[in-house]
Structure formats: structure tokens, C-alpha cells
Amino acid sequence: MPIRRNLTTLSDDDLDACVQAILALKAAGEYDEFVTAHATATMRTPQQAHMSPMFLPWHRQFVRAFELALGPSFALPYWDWAADQALPDPTKGKIWDDDFMGGEGDPVTTGPFRQGQWTLAGGGPLVRAFGSPPMTLPSAADVDAALAVNVYDAPPWNDVAMAAMGYESFRNQLEGWLLKPTQAFQPQLHNRVHVWVGGSMDNMETSPNDPVFFLHHANIDRIWSRWQAMHPTSGYLPAAGVPGVSAGDVMWPWDVAGSVVTPDDVLSTNLLGYVYDSEIQRSATAGGPHGDAFDDSTTIEFIPAIINSVSATWNTVITSLSTNYKYDGPAPHGTPVSDHSGSVTVPPHQTIQAITVYTHKDHDKTGVAALSIEVSGQPAQLLGPAQTTAGQRFAAPPGTYIAGFVGRASNRIYSLGVVALPMQQGF
Ligand SMILES: [Cu+2]
């Protein structure tokens, strides 16, 4: 599964591969189609892409489509602008290196997207005008404040001042329209980054003209994913009844019969086929269910409601290896099942949020671990390096750990995926 990584951790080769993929998409004429789709979506009524609860699912689908256009297994890096905010000079962050995104200017004259090398979808060169103090990038504290809001969205489901109206809205706080009663309006978080980069990015319709858009929105998506993990009982809102923006409503332009996309379809990044490096690291530090010093784990997410039953069996071939897993369903929450091996069966029609498998840090020394999943007798397809059917096992080779797990319910075919990575990556 593609792992979206913080761009500051990428090698020069990986950064260059990203630039080359973007340039190739541009040369093929496909890049500009994304700019046009974004602009058209922005001008439609009702608003879905912005100033709407669909802001996050719409851009998740949009960025994922872009990522797939760059390559079937391509992973977009993300730009952690809150980390750059803390730099002595945020305009000197790695993202702006000459061999990555290039710098600012009217027009931009450095980097691969400089004047003469990169023409906007509507014509003309790329422009950037970085904010100067007191205009700053959002801070880590700003991100944490948004993450603390446990309600996804609230009436009137748009960009107006919800805090001032007595409502809380994670979505609107992250999107950045939120007017705090105690402060004069200024763009926050997502909006603030667009304004800070300035120029081409500071245009709500055509901002994808700057490739930085996608690195920025990968980070926005990462923050949403983090919020989802932090607030597992806070779902997308409105669930129903608000025309055009409810959980089951179709998001334009993904309205082609037979392949429509709704917010409900994009609630899990794993189901869409990617994961963030920070997700892996966060689960890795969560600790084992017994409070032991386990240092790696995998999270299994399933689309709720459709699955009749799931049983997961985790065991180790080398029996001296200590392995635990737990079932993070609605109840009992996080029940540790056993050491060494065991299984858990989820009752029919239960919502499964996650099954987490913890393996002991020494397991790279001791050999093979196996995980088997059975989904109510249905064929289960592993999306990772092995294919299986119901009840069959995925075997992680020695020296790997299981980094991600996917359940997918599409046309009632259940797919399960595993990612196995070398131990040295991140742990
Ligand atoms: Cu947008």
C-alpha cells in the first residue's frame, strides 16, 4: 500500500520522482483537467468542494484521483506546514528547494515549475508570494486545537461563524473560515496556507495550478485521518437530510452512474488504498493491550454495517514469540484476546472500527508471523503481496512487520489487504 510520507523524509531521488511524475502528467494534458475540475466544482451550487461538510471527503477523493493519475502505486508526499511554521525562516523549508517545488516570485523563476517550464491551465506562469510576518503559517497548536473539536460539522453546514453561533465544527475549523468571537477574521489552517503561499495558490477556483496544492491537501487529509482516529465515534455529518452534502449524497464530478462517490465511500484512507507514515508511527507507539513494550502494530479497518461476521486469527509460527491482538469494536473495546495465537469473531452487523495486531519487537529475529482473516464465509482477497481466499493465511516474511490492513466491502466482495515492510522503516 502506498505510504504518504512527510516530504522532509524523502530522498532526493524520491523527491525528483515526484517532480517528474507531475511534469509527465502535465505533458500528457491530464494535470490541467484536475485544475478545471476543481474550478468547476468550486463554482457549482450547492457548494460541495468548499464551505461545505464535503470539503474533506471531496478533496480526499480529488487528491487520491490525482495520486493514481501519477502512478498506480505512487505515494504523494505531504507538506507538514505546521512544522515549517516553527522554522527560523519558513520560506526556506525543504519544500521550496530548487530541485523540488522551487521558490516564490511573480513569476516563479526557480525550480521545475518556473516560468517557461510550467504554464498554468488558464495560461501564464506560476506565481507565489510568501506571506511575511505577521502573516504566518498555521502552527502545531492551531492543528491541535482543530483536532480537539469532536463534532465533525454543524448547521448551517457552510463557512459562517459557527463558534460565534455556539456550534463547534472540526471541518470548518480545519478548512479555516471559522471566526472566533474574540478575534478579527483571518484565514486559518487550510485557508491560511493557501493565502500564505499566495499567488496561484491564493485562488479558490484554480489553486491546483500550483503542484504545492496537492502536498498541502495531502496534509489536510492526514489531519482529517488523524481526527478520525482520535474521535472514533464522531462520524461524518450531516448523516442525512441536508440536500447535496449529506453522507450518502453524490459528490460532483464523481456522479457517473455505477461509480458514484459519496462521503461515506471515502471515510477510510486504507480502503482508498493508502496510509500516512504518521499513522503507522502513531499506532506503533500506542503500546500493547497488556501494557507491554510492544513496538509495532497493525490496524485493520472495515466498512461497517455490510459485513456479517469477521474472524481474525493471529498467530506465530515460532511459539516463543509473544503476539497479541485486540478487537477495537464498539464493545468490548480493546479486549486483549491472548498471547501467541487466538481468534476473535465479530457478531453479525456489528460495526468494526479496527482490529489491532501487536507483535513483539523481537519478532524480526524469530521468523514468520501469520494472520488469517475470514469474512463470513465470503472470499477474502488479500491486496498485499499475497492473494488468498477465505481462511487462508498471509505470511509475512522474516524481517518484516505488518504495517497496514484493509477491509473493503465493494459489491459485497470483501477484500483484505496487508502491507509488510522491512523492520528498519520507522520502527
Ligand atoms: Cu479546493
Res. 146 pLDDT band, cuts 50 70 90? very high
d(CA 74, CA 290): 37
Say if residue 376's pLDDT is above 80. Answer: no
Confidence bin at 181 (pLDDT 50/70/90):
low
**H helix intervals, 238-376:** 269-272, 277-284, 363-366
Q: How far is the CA of 73 from the centre of ligand 1 (A)?
A: 24
Cα-to-centroid distance, 213 and ligand 1 (Å): 8
Question: How many Å lie between the centroid of ligand 1 and the Cα of residue 51?
Answer: 10
Rg of the chain taking only CA atoms, in angstroms: 22
pLDDT exceeds cutoff 50 at 302: no
> Given pLDDT bands bounded at 50, 70 and 90, which one contains residue 179?
low
pLDDT of 8 reads: 94
The alpha carbon of 38 and the centre of ligand 1 are apart by a number of angstroms equal to 6
For helices 212-230 and 277-284, angle between their N-to-C axes, nearest 10 degrees: 30
The rounded Å distance from CA 263 to ligand 1 centre is 16
Question: What separation in Å is there between the alpha carbon of 49 and the centre of ligand 1?
Answer: 6
How is 75-92 classified by DSSP, letter by letter? ---B--HHHHHTSS-GGG
* Å from CA of 191 to ligand 1 middle: 9
In the reported structure, the alpha carbon of residue 387 is separated from the centroid of ligand 1 by a whole-number distance in angstroms of 37
For 51, 93, 359, the CA distances from 371, given in Å and listed in that order, are 43, 42, 11
Higher-pLDDT residue of 373, 19: 19
pLDDT at 53 over 60: yes
- Euclidean distance between CA atoms 420 and 423, whole angstroms: 9
pLDDT over 60 (residue 26): yes
pLDDT value, residue 2 = 79
Q: What is the mean pLDDT of the chain?
A: 71
Which residue would you say has higher pLDDT here, 169 or 366? 169
Contact between 20 and 28 (Cβ < 8 Å): no
pLDDT at position 34 over 90: yes
| Confidence at residue 148, expressed as pLDDT on a 0 to 100 scale | 93
Structure confidence at residue 33 (pLDDT): 96
**pLDDT for 340:** 31
Quote the ligand 1 centre to 285 CA distance (angstroms). Answer: 33
Please name the residues in contact with 225: beta carbons below 8 A apart, sequence gap of 6 or more: 269, 276, 279
Q: Please answer whether residues 56 and 176 qualify as being in contact, where contact means their C-beta atoms are separated by less than 8 angstroms.
A: no
Asked whether 128 and 96 are in contact (CB, 8 A), the reply is no
pLDDT reading at 323 higher than 90 = no
Beta bridge partners of 316: 369
Q: What percent of the chain has pLDDT over 90?
A: 51
Cβ contact 42:49 at 8 Å: yes
Residue 341 has pLDDT above 70, yes or no: no
Distances (CA, A) of 402 to 9, 256, 272, 372, 421: 21, 36, 18, 12, 7
Ligand 1: centre distance to CA 50 (Å) = 6
Map grid coordinates 484476546 to a residue. 337
pLDDT (0 to 100) of residue 280:
58
139-153, 176-190, 369-383: range with lowest mean pLDDT: 369-383
pLDDT of 166 = 67
Nearest to 223 by CA among 110, 78, 322: 78
What is the model's pLDDT at position 55? 97
Lowest mean pLDDT among 264-268, 338-342, 363-367: 363-367
CA of 294 to the centre of ligand 1 (A): 40
What is the per-residue pLDDT for 204? Answer: 92
In this model, does residue 296 exceed pLDDT 60?
no
Confidence of residue 168 (pLDDT cuts 50, 70, 90): confident
Tell me, in angstroms, the distance from the centre of ligand 1 to residue 204's CA: 6
Is the pLDDT assigned to residue 150 strictly greater than 80? yes
Ligand 1 centroid distance, CA of 22 (Å): 18
pTM confidence score: 0.70
Distance of CA 200 from the midpoint of ligand 1 (Å): 13
pLDDT band with cut points at 50, 70 and 90 for residue 272? confident
For residue 31, the CA-to-ligand 1 centroid distance in Å is: 15
Domains of the chain (ranges plus CATH)? 3-266 (1.10.1280.10), 285-422 (2.60.40)
**Higher-confidence position of 374 and 385:** 374
Residue with cell 482516529: 229
Which segment of 206-215, 271-280, 361-370 scores lowest on mean pLDDT? 361-370
Cell numbers standing for residue 346: 465479530
Nearest to 299 by CA among 271, 263, 322, 320: 271
> Which pLDDT band, with edges at 50, 70 and 90, does 266 fall under?
very high
Q: Which residue has the higher pLDDT, 160 or 166?
A: 160
Q: Which ranges constitute the DSSP H helices of 266-372?
A: 269-272, 277-284, 363-366
Is-cis flag, bond preceding 134, omega within 30?
A: yes
End-to-end CA distance of the chain, in Å? 17
Q: What's the pLDDT band for 339 if we cut at 50, 70, 90?
A: very low
More confident residue, 54 or 375: 54
- Going from the Cα of 58 to the center of ligand 1, the distance in angstroms, rounded, reads 8
169 CA to centre of ligand 1 in angstroms: 18
What is the mean predicted confidence (pLDDT) over 395-415?
31
pLDDT at 322 over 50: no
Cα-to-centroid distance, 12 and ligand 1 (Å): 28
Higher pLDDT, 138 or 280: 138
Helix (H, G, I), strand (E, B) or coil at 238: coil
Ligand 1 centre distance from Cα of residue 74 (Å): 21
Chain segment 82-134, per-residue pLDDT in tens: 999 999 999 999 999 999 999 999 999 999 999 999 999 999 999 999 998 77
